[in-house]
Structure 1
Amino acid sequence: MDNLLSLQNVSWKRDGRDILSEINWEMKKGENWGILGLNGSGKTSLLNIITAYEFPSSGEISVLGYSFGESYLPDLRKEIGFVSSSLSRFSHIIEYETIEEIIVSGKFASFGLYEQVHQEDWEKADELIGRFRLESLKGKPYKQLSQGERRRVLIARSLMNDPKLLILDEPCSGLDILSREQVLELTKEIVNRPCQFVYVTHHIEELVEDVTHVLSIKDGKIVAAGPKHEVVRDDILTETFKLPVHVRWEDGRPWLSVEKKVHA
């Protein structure tokens, strides 16, 4: 399976309004994609379609070999990991659970443990705790963790079920600079596994070295899609973000500045 994702002429309407229009995008084996766009550009809608929680008005979609309209899509969701700042809405359910319990719950795609947990599950969770340098947090309830620590635990949780594809939806939203860099460093652990990722953001400095390709989206339409250095350019991002910007590169990582307007 060379194509992990294939969207052909995908459009989606809601309440008679075009949310996504003529989306054509392929993600191949070995690629990790960043998705750039302003709030309201269609990023979340695109993710909802990829994860089969929304269905397009038109077009053809295949994700991890599951063709929409022909496959049993609940099985697809079991092969996709998902991390988002929006998962904080479940905090009240897990606030007294330890990080071990939260990570193990990823096997069952649940918040809270409602099924039998086997010894090998705890051992796998312990391996993830070590990989993600969370040993100092063992035994601590979720409510005592910082925002950055919570995000790291949720990323470890998302890998408990060995997903083939990991969706990182603005995972650094609301984090301070230290916590952000710690989360971004975790992409190295992800790419060392048989798992590829899609990283969604509107901050280009989060497109670290492990991100190989970028899709930029504006008003529900693709502006550009391809290798990172071909898409993360002044002209493309000026169109994507709807104001003049300049990109500079430092150690393979892009940074953005807004161009000052010259007044006559």
Structure 2
Amino acid sequence: MEKVLSFKDVSWRREGQEILTEINWDIHQNEHWAILGLNGSGKTSILNIMTGYHFPTSGDVTVLGNEFGKTNLPELRKEIGYVSSSLDRFSHITQHETIEEIIVSGKFASFGLYEKVSDADWDKADSLINSFRLGYLKGKSYQLLSQGEKRRALIARALMSDPKILILDEPCSGLDILSREEVLVLTKEIVGNHSHLIYVTHHIEEIVHEITHVLLLHKGKIVAKGPKDEVVNAELLTETFQVPVKVRWEDNRPWLSVKK
């Protein structure tokens, strides 16, 4: 499988309004992408199509060798990990579970445990807890964790099923600087787990070393795509964010400021 994902001339309309326009985008083996754009730029729509929750109005989509329209989408979704603040809607379930139970439930793509958990599953969850430096929280109720600890636990949960693609949808939203950096450090674990990372954000400083490529969106169209050192520049980001910006690089990580 040469391509992990392929969008060919993909457009999507909702209630007569075109949300995505002729998206052509490929992800190849060993590439890890960030998606940047303003609210309403089409980031979430691309994720929904990628995971099979929206079907393109026109164009072709192939994910992990599965051509949409000719594949079992529920089975495909088992190969895709997804971490988003939208998972907070399951808080009525998660508030009653320990961090171990939250993480091991990722094996079954469920919140709540409804299937038998093997000793090997518990061992793997324990290994992830330690890898993500969450060992001091063992046995604690998930509802007592800080926001940063919860995000780290959810990323560990997503890795329980060894996904081939892991989507992090604004995982640092609402976090303080320390918690943000603790989450960003986990990209090393994700890449080391042989998952292809797709990282959605508004903030270019979250494009860490492990992210190799960037997709820029504006009003449902691609502004630019490619290796991050070619795409993350003042001209293209000004077009993407619709405000004049400057970009500087420090330790292979970009930082943005607005021109006055």
Q: TM-score, normalised by structure 1?
A: 0.98
- Aligned-pair CA distance for 1:92: 2.0
Please give the residue correspondences for 1:1-264 in structure 2 after superposition, counting only pairs within 5 Å. 1-260=1-260
- The one-letter amino acid of 2:8's match is Q
- Aligned-pair CA distance for 1:212: 0.2
- Aligned-pair CA distance for 1:90: 1.2
- Aligned-pair CA distance for 1:119: 1.0
- Aligned-pair CA distance for 1:93: 1.2
The 3-state SS of whatever aligns with 1:54 is: coil
Please give the per-residue CA displacement for 1:112-139, whole angstroms capped at 9, x wherever unaligned.
Answer: 1111111111011011111111100000
The 3-state SS of whatever aligns with 2:200 is: strand
- Aligned-pair CA distance for 1:85: 1.5
The 3-state SS of whatever aligns with 1:181 is: helix
Q: Name the CA distance, whole Å, in 2 between partners of 1:208 and 1:46.
A: 22
- Aligned-pair CA distance for 1:11: 0.1
Answer whether contact 1:188 1:210 (CA < 8 A) is retained: yes
- Aligned-pair CA distance for 1:87: 1.1
- The one-letter amino acid of 1:195's match is S
Answer whether contact 1:85 1:172 (CA < 8 A) is retained: no
Q: TM-score, normalised by structure 2?
A: 0.99
Report the RMSD for the aligned CA atoms in angstroms.
0.6
The 3-state SS of whatever aligns with 1:34 is: strand
Q: How many residues align?
A: 260
Please give the per-residue CA displacement for 1:213-248, whole angstroms capped at 9, x wherever unaligned.
Answer: 000000000000000011100000000000101111
The 3-state SS of whatever aligns with 1:38 is: coil
Q: Name the CA distance, whole Å, in 2 between partners of 1:144 and 1:16.
A: 44
Please give the per-residue CA displacement for 1:169-196, whole angstroms capped at 9, x wherever unaligned.
Answer: 0000000000000000000011111211
- The one-letter amino acid of 2:147's match is Q
- The one-letter amino acid of 1:223's match is V
- The one-letter amino acid of 1:191's match is V
The 3-state SS of whatever aligns with 1:107 is: helix
The 3-state SS of whatever aligns with 1:59 is: strand
Q: Name the CA distance, whole Å, in 2 between partners of 1:89 and 1:73.
A: 22
Q: Name the CA distance, whole Å, in 2 between partners of 1:247 and 1:86.
A: 31
- Aligned-pair CA distance for 1:66: 0.7
- Aligned-pair CA distance for 1:96: 2.0
Q: Name the CA distance, whole Å, in 1 between partners of 2:92 and 2:238.
A: 40
- Report runs of 4+ in structure 1 exceeding 2 Å deviation: none
- Structure 1 runs not aligned, ≥5 long: none
